[in-house]
Structures are given as C-alpha cells and as structure tokens.
Amino acid sequence: MKKYKLSEICKEIDLEFDGEDIEIDGLHTLDEATPSQISFLHDKRYVSSLGSTKAGAVLLEERYTDMLPNGTIALVTDEPYLKLALASKFFAHKIVTKGGHPNLGDGCDIDKRVRFGKDVTLGDNVTVMASAYIGDNVTIGSNTIIYPNVTIYHNCEIGSNCILHAGVVIGSDGYGFAHTKDGRHIKIYQNGNTIIEDEVEIGANSTVDRAVFGSTYIRKGTKLDNLVQIGHNCDIGENTLMAGQAGIAGSTTMGRNVVMGGQSGTAGHLSIGDFAVVAGKGGVTKSLKGGKTYAGFPAIEHKLWLKLQAKLSSLVKRKK
C-alpha cells in the first residue's frame, strides 16, 4: 500500500495545514477512517461523527474545526468534497495492460482467450469462458462459472458457486463526481472494491459498481436478472431477488429476501427492510420498512396504491 506525506497531498490539492506531517495511505468516511487516512465533511447530517472520528486529517469548513478530536488535523476548505475528489487520485489503482498467470485450483477450465491481470487466484473447478477479463488481485471461489465477455475489475472478490452471465461487469467505477464553482465535474476515483458472496447469480449485461472506499456487497444467495444496475457502496442483503432493469442508487442498504420488480429503482442512501417487496416500476424515494409490499412512484404500500388507482379511475369516469 503506497503512502504519501500529508504535505505532498495538500500541495497538490492547494491546501495549507498546521500539524504533524503524517503519512497517508487512503481516504475513508468519518466513521471508518484510521489515523493514517484522510476523511471529509461536506454534509451537516454527518456532523455528529466528527467528535469520534479516528481520521488523521479531515477536510472540512472552518466552522466545524472545533468539533474535531485532539490530534486530528483540520484541512480547512470551503469545498471539502472537491478537495476529496482531487486527493482521491493519489490512491487510484494503476492501470496496466501487462497481466500474469493466475493461481489455479484443481479442475479449472479456462478458455485460451481469457485475459488475466496480476495476482489472480481461482478456486477449484472454476470455469471461465472466452473473452472474459479478470483484473489484478481478483479472487474467485470454487465451482463458479464465468460466461463469455464478463469483466471483473481489479481487487474484486467473487464467492463460490456463483454464476456470472455474459456481459456482466463487476467493479466498474461508481458514478461519483465533485463539481467546481464554474460547473466542471471532477472525478472521484473509486478506490474501494466489489464483493460478491457465495451462491449469487447475476444476469446478462448487469453491472455492480465498486465502492468509493470500502466495498459494495452482494450478499449470499442473491439473484439478479439481466440488465440490473447496482450503484457504488450498496449492500444488497442475502437472498434478494431483482427483476430486469431494476436500478439501485449508491449507498442503498437492503435487508435479506427483498424483492425488486422489473424497472423498479431506489434513490441513494436509503434502507429497505427484510422481506420487503417493491412492485414493477416502483420508485423508492425514502427508506422502507420490511415485511410489506410497495408500489407506485413514490412507492407507497401496495394496498393504498390500489385504492388510489381506483379513486383516480372513478374520478376520470365521473368527469365523462
């Protein structure tokens, strides 16, 4: 893991600081950051995490500096999110075309047209079909099948007994940008990974984005249909089912056995409870309790939605 002096990072992103010139090995949230990492505050909803953060340094506005713990370095800026984006480039994975020979378990069947990055590890009886690409430091568990043209980006983990159908992309960059005052969009490098647990099946041309930092999770036993999109830093619970064209925005957390109908979707930073069902085309705009069925946009309980549709239909007929 490459480390940089805090002074080096600050010089590159045009910031000054007072304090020890510590070594930095990454970026993370206020709750998860370690003393060798930089964190940030750009949303007042997370102010409560400032006092307990273990981050070595925090990008934040001057009005919040008194809330930092002793020893945490304040990196004062009126654009903390933009400075985070600029700093993220330091820790981006270096993209190279040169690969290596994977560490193979027993009984693997690998098409000769597969390309591997460096330090790839495959378990026993893994099948990888033509034109797949398996990136640097990827691990794939035993008895997993990788169909043609699947792409698995660097540092991702695939469990045992999984099926990834043709055209699946695991670990592509999440959709993250900071915005300058003059309207430019600055890339936030997505330096986390994606973890697919055991017994997951992912349909053709579906995508699961890597995390900004930390991991995007698809938990054990989940089944995704074709053309499903999972955003960065989502945590999709065990045995979840998603029908075609469902889309889950970043940092959504789902409990176990959630069902998402075709073309349903969520806004970001929401939670959906265990055994919730969202009907086709349902649009989730706020967190939902488990054990209930929802429909419509914005998604409401299904029985209420049916009553609403009946009322609307009655009003239309009455006007005629």
Same domain? 50 vs 84? yes
pLDDT at 319 over 70: no
pLDDT given for residue 316 in this prediction: 82
pLDDT given for residue 266 in this prediction: 98
pLDDT given for residue 17 in this prediction: 85
pLDDT at 7 over 70: yes
pLDDT given for residue 280 in this prediction: 97
pLDDT at 320 over 70: no
pLDDT given for residue 315 in this prediction: 86
- Please check whether residue 286 lies inside any domain of the structure: no
* Arithmetic mean of pLDDT, 219-224: 98
Same domain? 54 vs 142? no
Same domain? 166 vs 249? yes
Same domain? 148 vs 265? yes
pLDDT tens column, 158-197: 999 999 999 999 999 999 999 999 999 999 999 999 999 9
**Per-chain mean pLDDT for the chain:** 96
- Please check whether residue 136 lies inside any domain of the structure: yes
In the chain, % of residues over pLDDT 90? 93
Same domain? 77 vs 116? no
Name the residue with higher pLDDT: 1 or 246: 246
Beta bridge partners of 271: 253
* Arithmetic mean of pLDDT, 271-286: 98
pLDDT at 318 over 80: no
* Arithmetic mean of pLDDT, 250-261: 98
Domains of the chain: total = 2
* Arithmetic mean of pLDDT, 103-128: 98
8 A C-beta contact, residue 276 and residue 258: yes
Provide the 3-class DSSP secondary structure of residue 261.
Answer: coil
Q: Provide the pLDDT confidence category of residue 155 given band limits of 50, 70 and 90.
A: very high
Same domain? 137 vs 81? no
Quote the tokens at residue 166. Answer: 């043709």
Same domain? 218 vs 148? yes
Q: What is the CATH number of the domain that holds 85?
A: 3.40.1390.10
pLDDT at 108 over 70: yes
Phi, psi of 122 (to 5 degrees): -120, 140
Q: Which among 61, 91, 121 is the end of a domain?
A: 91
Q: What residues are labeled active site?
A: 232
pLDDT given for residue 275 in this prediction: 98
- Please check whether residue 103 lies inside any domain of the structure: no
Tell me the Cα Rg of the chain: 22
Same domain? 232 vs 127? yes
Host domain of residue 205? 109-269
pLDDT tens column, 73-93: 999 999 999 999 999 999 999
Same domain? 126 vs 31? no
- Please check whether residue 49 lies inside any domain of the structure: yes
Same domain? 79 vs 125? no
Phi, psi of 141 (to 5 degrees): -75, 170
Same domain? 32 vs 124? no
User: What CA–CA distance (Å, rounded) separates 266 from 287?
Assistant: 9
Same domain? 153 vs 213? yes
8 A C-beta contact, residue 81 and residue 100: no
pLDDT given for residue 314 in this prediction: 85
